[in-house]
Amino acid sequence: MKKKFIVKKSSDFTKIINNANYYKGKSFVIYIKDNNLDYSRFGISVSKKSGNAVVRNTIKRKMRSIIDDNKKNYQKNLDYIIIVKNGFLEHSFQEIKESFESIIDRINR
CATH number of the domain at 52, please: 3.30.230.10
Residue 34's alpha-carbon distances to 8, 28, 57, 62, in angstroms, are 16, 20, 27, 25
Share of the chain above pLDDT 70, in %: 100
**pLDDT tens, residue by residue, 51-103:** 999 999 999 999 999 999 988 888 888 999 999 998 888 999 999 999 999 99
Does residue 38 surpass a pLDDT of 80? yes
pTM: 0.88
Specify the number of domains making up the chain.
1
Whole-angstrom Cα Rg for the chain: 13
pLDDT band at 109 (very low <50, low <70, confident <90, very high): confident
**pLDDT value at residue 54:** 95
Domain housing 33: 3-108
